[in-house]
Structure 1
Amino acid sequence: MGTEAGKLKKTAAAAGVAAFWLLVWQLLAMLIGKDVVLSPPLTVFRTLVRLMGTGEFWLTVGATFLRILFGYGFGAALGLGLGLAAWKSGIVRRLLAPFMSVVRATPVASFIILLLFLARNQWIPVLIAALMVMPLIWANCLKGIEETDRGLLEMGQVFELSRRWQIRHIYGPSVRAFFLPAAVTGLGLAWKAGVAAEVLAAPEHSVGGMLYRAKIYLENPEMLAWTLCVILISLALETLLKRLLQKTNG
């Protein structure tokens, strides 16, 4: 009973916060008084519903989703693999550390502009999503290995437990504790950076391309509707991934 009351309280609080910001949005739109600058919430929601009634909308969202999901998966796998390689070899770690630091410090726009000269437009969002995820997973993978309980490792040596058993039951839980938050954070980064890459690269059937088109033609309601779509999908993906990882971890 207490759990249900707590959930209702959280839901009510979230609804209150959402209502507050919708009111702020509405007041700002009324103050500006120009849809071409800032459209009111109801106009944007109606535009989003209209877009969702078209096949082009779902084709666009699906294409963007697949690009970014592929880039995210590739970046996560690469980060995990390179993290394990860096753990096994100090030389590999010293070679990779500056590269990962540069990737994390470089603005996303710089990578996008560089890739415009090096890759096909369809692949730029994929590569950008991978670049956002890879160093995050790499760093957290190494951190998880370094934070492994030394007492458990010594116990494994004393009882002559196999390397595979130690990796699965000692290293595994420690790495997982750092990997899971990085995976969730990385998904949000990959989604936002991937859409940003689509804005500049404008591949066929892309959310970013639709955002750019709406900006060019001063279609503020449509631009905000696509932005709202990006936000809602990002939140949904992060929530879904959290639950999936919690279920797997549990």
Structure 2
Amino acid sequence: MQPNLLIKKKKLHEEIIEKINELIVQGGFKVGDKIPSLSYLSNAFGVGVPTIREALSVMSALGLMEIKHGSGAYIKALPSALDPTAGLSLNNSLELLHWYQYRRAVDVEAAGLAAENRTDDDIFLLEDIHQRIVNDLRYRGEASDFDFEFHQAIATATRNPVFVEVSANIKQKIQHFFELNYQQYKLTTSRKEGIIKEHLNVLEAIKNGDKQNAYKFMRVHLNNAEKKLR
């Protein structure tokens, strides 16, 4: 298979995010400062106000900006003026944010269905994968491959062919999400142990047929992981 050499074209609001970051750095803005108005930014960058709003909304979701309705947008965190990979990091964070939104919609429900429909073979597989996650996190520092397999095994345990088919169809994209998730952030020892415990809680809830706790612990796991983007 030949590698995909096409350069991914940035969306307009992503370009505007970079422009706003440049404005913040070059203008000497500080955390807590109010940035120029929507109309000013629209005229300065030559785009419509809706595009500016979309860019600021994404920056707010990433924890870079605070939107105060009726007042304006205020800087919550400064972009790095020195890090040449800051743009890449921002784009990665945005991609991860989109995937977490998808996973909240899918993985939480999958965990509940798995608690209802799992078999002994499903539990055996999940326990085996969980032990591999433990080993990889403690001795290698990351476990993207087995983390991915754990969530795929939950999709299989739902006994819902749609979950299984959708997971199979976007397998490469999901794998990329897990790889990016582990690459983007250096995990502390406490966070590694937290990931291990969160997966175990989900596993035990599914094993016990406890649908509500399966929902709960999967949601907690995803929320804790997403906090790194805020």
TM-score w.r.t. length of structure 1 = 0.32
More helix by share: 1
Q: Which has the larger radius of gyration?
A: 1
Instruction: Name the structure, 1 or 2, with higher relative contact order (CA <8 Å, separation 6+).
Output: 1
